[in-house]
Amino acid sequence: MFYQLTEGRIKMKIKNVVPRIDKFVKQQGWAYWLVDTTPKSVAKLGNKGEKKYFETREEAEAYAAEVNSAQLHNGGASSSKGGTVGDAIKMVVTSYKRRRDEGNVGFTAVRGYIKNAECWEEHIGHIKCSDLNHLQIQSVLDGPFGHLSKTTKDRKLKQLVKVLELSRAKGWIPLNARNVAERGEYSETSVVLFENVHNKTEDEIRFGPRKNPFDSELIKKLCEHTLYQDDRINKERERLAQKKHGKIGHNQLPKPIKYRNFGTILSFAFQTGLRFSEQAALRWSDVDLDRKKITVSCALRVTGERGMVGVGTTKSKLLRKDTSVGSGIRYVPITRELHKLLVEWKLKSNFSKDEDLVFPTNVGTWNKTSNNWRIRIMHEACDAVGVDHLRWHDARHYFASKLLNAHNENWGKIADILGHDSTDFTRRQYGHWIEKSKEDDQESSDELSDAMEA
């Protein structure tokens, strides 16, 4: 049995529960100290309360105190077995996996949801859902999760809200009790998320280092090194193939050479800004070498318990007149350097038909994750050049910096090429990379002064 929350907007007359002796039960020789929660004046879940008997008065008074406290706080429990936060988390995880297997939620999204839900189990999983309060949640956010950003904390908190809502549906907390994981403005009554400044001083925030666009010379070195290694390895493979064919005889057709294309893959990522899922799903029919244009319409999607790979829509949901609503089709131009590399790769590739993938595995299938490209291509190039490892997604950020140089502050065009849903997101991501000259700043100041004086 659970008791209702009686603070906030809920108006309810509260009657303290007082232990009493049940004379009839005492005559039978049973435990006769009674705590009765059936009266209407006692706040409870449902229409019925319960009667519970104790051997001694002390036990009855201790339980009555618990019941009375429950009426004033967040829905404490009586003798009914309420589940813990850990039990509710397991049910939420099971629900997410079922929806994922049914195809209702994407694999990647579910993986993030489960991660943000299960992270609470270590800290508050042993607490009963009915006993959990916002102070315990706040202590986890400020303690073990204190180093995380505000956005990351918010994601974890949202999953905890869902966990507690599921426990409400199971009857583990009252129907009209406030969800203690919901955010508020005051730390005295609800969970509050603070902006994480990592304990920086004002001078460190004002004058500290800021993330700048990637060095073009560094990216050029990475691509040139990888292309050089491709050329060296491919020549060696050609030599070995000719030597082997000479031993077999000229009556048999030589086996096709598996050319290495790591340099083309890396240069493509830096010069188009496609997400890995989009680049891995690209087919030659999407590459128009005559018009120097790439049509981005599909992306890899991982679904199912075993990580099955299939093709779905892109992450973008742009609205185009020539496509269906929300299809996310966009067009990316091909640079002169990339055009040359793609032409050469199409001539060498064993999969060059329109229906073939542009960057397949050796057997013509999809690369399921970016791990292979990141470790074998990006990281090896970084080690050879002598720089810190880059992520595969950093190639997309580099391309964005080049778009800013080419189109200045034409946020609409930049957002369309990158596949962002809104220009606001593009501005938030890359707006601080725009560097204006002193003359531009002075001109802007003069224009504002003229407008204010008019």
Domain spans in the chain, listed from the N-terminal domain onward:
17-38+49-70, 103-176+186-206, 219-247+254-318+325-434
Average pLDDT over residues 49-58: 79
- 90-99, 208-217, 329-338, 361-370: lowest mean pLDDT where? 208-217
The radius of gyration computed from the CA coordinates of the chain, to the nearest angstrom, equals: 32
Burial class (CB in 10 A: 0-12, 13-18, 19+), 210: exposed
Q: Which two tokens stand for residue 108?
A: 């990647």
pLDDT of amino acid 11: 35
Q: Which two tokens stand for residue 207?
A: 């004058």
Overall size of the chain counted in residues = 454
Q: Which residue in the block uniquely carries the two structure tokens 């082997």?
A: 244
Q: Which residue in the block uniquely carries the two structure tokens 């009657």?
A: 15
- 146-155, 288-297, 362-371, 424-433: lowest mean pLDDT where? 424-433
pLDDT of amino acid 291: 92
Of 1-10, 252-261, 384-393, 428-437, the range with the highest mean pLDDT is: 384-393
In angstroms, the CA 247 to CA 135 distance is 78
Average pLDDT over residues 114-128: 92
β-strand 293-296 against 287-288: which pairing, if any?
antiparallel
Q: How confident is residue 454, by pLDDT bands cut at 50, 70 and 90?
A: low
- 166-180, 304-318, 394-408: lowest mean pLDDT where? 304-318
In angstroms, the CA 150 to CA 193 distance is 7
| Sign of the Cα pseudo-torsion (317, 320, 322, 324, in order) | positive
Q: How confident is residue 333, by pLDDT bands cut at 50, 70 and 90?
A: very high
pLDDT of amino acid 428: 78
pLDDT of amino acid 87: 87
Angle 414-416-422 from CA coordinates, rounded to 5°: 90
Please check whether the domain covering 219-247+254-318+325-434 is classified as CATH 1.10.443.10: yes
- 229-243, 280-294, 319-333: lowest mean pLDDT where? 319-333
Say which residues have a Cβ less than 8 Å from residue 372's Cβ, sequence separation at least 6: none
pLDDT in tens, 191-235: 766 555 455 555 665 565 555 567 888 999 999 999 999 999 999
- Is the whole-model pTM more than 0.75? no
In angstroms, the CA 192 to CA 198 distance is 17
Question: pLDDT over 90 for what percent of the chain?
Answer: 26
